[in-house]
Structure 1
Amino acid sequence: MTEPRPRAVADNEKITINLGVVDLGQIDLLVQEGFYSNRTDLIRTAIRNQLAAHGEVLRTTVARRTLVMGLQDYGRRELEAARDAGERLRIQALGLVRIADDVSPELALAAIESISVLGVLQASHSVKAALASRIH
C-alpha cells in the first residue's frame, strides 16, 4: 500500500461565476481580437485591476483588523506550546491558514479560541468539525 502524497500548497483557488450572455460574448470578442489570451486572462486582469484600485483601503483595513497576510501554518508543536502556556489563539488571516494533519480535534479546541480567514482554511474534516462554532 502506498502512502498518500502530502497535499501541495495551492497557488490558486477555483471559483465559479455566472455571467450574462452579453458580457460573455464581449469577453470572447476581446479574446478573439487578441487583447487577452483567454477568458481567464481577462477575468484575472479585471480582478487585479480592481484590487489595485482599492489597494489603500485593503492595506488600512488589514492593519486595522490586525489580519496576518499570506500563509500561516499551525502544527501540533505550536498548538501544544500555546495550550501549555495557557494561551488560546485568535487566528485572523487574509490568505491561507493550514492546520497540520498531526493536530487532533481535542488539541485544536484547547489551543484555538477563534478563526477568521478571508481566503482558505485547510484542516482535517475532524478539526474543522470540532472548531465549527469558532470559525467565522
Structure 2
Amino acid sequence: MRAVQPVRDKGGETEKITVNLGYVDLGRVDLLVQEGFYSNRTDFIRTAIRNQLGAHSDAVSQSIARHTLELGLRDYDRTDLEAVRSAGETLHIKVVGLARIASDVTPELALATIGSITVLGALQASAEIKAALAKRIH
C-alpha cells in the first residue's frame, strides 16, 4: 500500500463548513477585510483556524501518536484491498485528513477487508461503499 501523503490546501480539495458569528464579531471581521488586513471573510477564518492549529500543534501531534492515526491523504484502491484479503488481514483505517476509497473497490471487497474506519476530516467513497460500511464507520 502507498504511504500517507500530506494534504495541502488546494482548490477543490477543501471541505465546506458553516460558522455562526455574532453581529459584532462579524462586523469586526468585515472591518479588518475593509481595512485590507484580509482579502475576504474566508481568508480571515482560514488564517484564524491555522493560527489555532499552530498553537495546539504539540497537542495534535501527541493525540495522533496516542491514537495511532495517520495524518494526511490516504488512498485505498482495489489492488491494495485485494493484497489485504490475500494476506488474510483486516484493515482498521484511522486517518486525520482525507481517506479515499477508489471507485474500483466493490462493496463486497470493502466488507471483506475493512474492519473499521475512523476519519477526522473527510471520507471520500462511493455511496455504495459508504452504505456497505455504515456500521463500521465511526
Equivalent position SS for 2:44: helix
State the TM-score, normalized to the length of structure 2: 0.89
Answer with 1 or 2: which has the greater Rg.
Answer: 1
**Displaced runs of 4 or more, over 6 A:** none
- What percent of counterpart residues are identical? 66
The residue that corresponds to 2:7 in the other structure is none
Range that drifts further, 15-24 or 107-116: 15-24
The residue that corresponds to 1:64 in the other structure is 66
Provide the aligned length of Structure 1 versus Structure 2. 128
The residue that corresponds to 2:23 in the other structure is 21
Report how far residue 49 of structure 1 moved: 0.7
Counterpart amino acid of residue 108 in structure 1: A
**1:112 aligned to which of 114, 117, 132:** 114
Counterpart amino acid of residue 107 in structure 1: L
Q: What RMSD, in angstroms, separates the aligned Cα atoms of the two structures?
A: 1.1
Report how far residue 85 of structure 1 moved: 1.2
CA offsets, 1:39-67, max 9 Å, x none? 11111111011001101000111111111
The residue that corresponds to 1:6 in the other structure is none
Counterpart amino acid of residue 25 in structure 2: D
The residue that corresponds to 2:3 in the other structure is none
Report how far residue 10 of structure 1 moved: 3.8
Range that drifts further, 11-20 or 90-99: 11-20
Q: Which has the higher contact order (CA 8 A, sep 6+)?
A: 2
The residue that corresponds to 2:77 in the other structure is 75
Report how far residue 133 of structure 1 moved: 0.3
Range that drifts further, 100-109 or 77-86: 77-86
The residue that corresponds to 1:4 in the other structure is none
